[in-house]
A and B are shown apart, each in its own frame.
Chain A
Amino acid sequence: MLFATMLGIGGLCRDIGYPVGAAMLSTVLIWAGPAQVLVFGSIAAGAALPAIAIAVSLSSIRFVPMCMSLLPLMRRDAVPATTETPAQPATPVWLMLLLSHYVAVTAWVEGVRRLPQMPQGERIPFFLGFANTVLLAATIATGAGYYLIGQLPPALAAALLFITPVYFTLALVAGARRMIDWLALILGFIAAPVMAHFALPGLDLVIGGVGMGTLAYAIHRSWGRRKAGSA
C-alpha cells in the first residue's frame, strides 16, 4: 500500500542523477517514506548533507512510539525452568534490533491490529514474513518508479498518492478497539489543520501527535477512574 510513495521516491532519485541501486538501497535500509523523500528531495534542492541528516533524524523520531508499542508484543521474557518445562531464554537483543528495523507505518498498523490475537510463538514468524514481503515489494516498486514515473496519466498518479491516506485511515479504524484508540484517531486527525497553523513547520506533526495522544490518554484515564468509582 506504500508502493505509491516508493514509486515517487524512485522518480525523485532519478531526477538527481543517482543510480537506481541507490534508490532501492534507500528503501531496504531507511525503510521510511518521509525520510527517503527528505534525502533525495533535499539533495535536489541543494541542501547541505549534515542538515539533511538532522531533518531525517527528526522525521524518524516517530518510530519511537511505534517501536515501543509494537516490540513488546513480540518479545518473550526469560522463563526459568520448572519441573515440567525447561528454561526458555528471553528473545535475544540482536533479534529485537532486527525486528525493530521493519517497524514503519505499514508494519505497525498491521502489527498492532493482528499480533494481539496470535499465540506468542507465532508472532515473530508472522511479523518477519509479512514485513519482508512488504519490504521486497516496496523495493521493486522503487525500482519501477525510477523508470515509470512521469509516464502515468494524472488521474492515475493521483490515485496512487491517495492509497496512502485511504489505506492508513481504514487500517487505523479497523485496529481501533477501545475508546482510547478512537480518541487518538479522531483527535490526531483534528490536530493536523490546527497544528499546521500554529506550530513550527516540520515539528507540527510531532507536537500534534504527542499532544493529542496525551489528551486521548488523559481522557481514557479519567473515564476509567470514574467508572471504577461508580462501580
Chain B
Amino acid sequence: MTSFLASLEHASGGLWPYLVVILFGFLPSEVWRWVSVFLVKGLSTESEILVWVKAVASALLASVVAKILLSPSGALAAVPALWRWSAMAGGLAAYFVLRRSVLAGVVLGEAILIAAGFLAR
C-alpha cells in the first residue's frame, strides 16, 4: 500500500494530476471559504467583529506585499532592492499626483522597474 502511494506521488499520467489538484489542492483550500459562509451567518455589516476582521485581512495583505519586496523570488530578485523600493515609491507618487489613479501608479512603478531591470544587467 505504501509503495503504491509512493508510486502515485510521482505519477503524472492519466487522470492522476487532476485528482491531485482536486484532493490535495482544491478541497483543503476551499474548506475555509465554506467555513466563512457559516461564520458570517447572522452578522451585520456594521458589527464590530467585522471591523476587526477587515483590519486583519488588510494587515495580512500588506505583509504579503512587504515580504515580496523584501525577499523576492525568481527574476524579481535580480533587480536591486533599492530599485524595487524606488519603483514602489514611484508608483505610489504617481497614484497620488495623477488624481488617485491605480492604473497610472501601476504603469509608472512598472516602467521604473523595467528600466532598472535592463540597467542591472
Contact = CB atoms under 8 A, between A and B. Distances in A.
Q: Do A and B come from one complex?
A: yes
A67 B21 contact: no
A38 B63 CA distance: 19
A154 B117 contact: yes
Highest count of chain B CB atoms <10 Å: which of A19, A30, A105:
A30
Nearest to B24: A53
A166 interface: yes
Interface residues of B, number: 78
A49 interface: yes
Contact of B34 (A97, A160, A176, A214): A97
B78 A154 contact: yes
Contact of B60 (A67, A97, A188): A188
Given A17-B12, A22-B17, A65 B54 contact: yes
A69 to B, nearest CB: 4
B32 to A, nearest CB: 5
Contacts of A103: 33, 36
Contact of A162 (B23, B25, B32, B87): B87
Nearest to B36: A67
Interface in B56-81: 56-76, 78-79
A124 interface: no
Given A109-B61, A181-B58, A188-B58, A68 B92 contact: no
A172 B45 CA distance: 19
A32 B117 CA distance: 28
A157 B75 contact: yes
Nearest to A93: B37
Which of B21, B35, B92, B121 has the most CB atoms of chain A within a 10 A radius of its CB?
B21
8 contacts: A30-B25, A49-B8, A64-B36, A170-B102, A172-B58, A189-B65, A192-B63, A217-B52
- 3 nearest A-B residue pairs (beta carbon): A155-B117, A213-B56, A209-B60
Interface of B: 5, 8-10, 12, 17-18, 20-37, 39-40, 43-45, 49-76, 78-79, 84, 87-88, 91-92, 95, 100, 102, 105-106, 109-110, 113-114, 117-118, 120-121
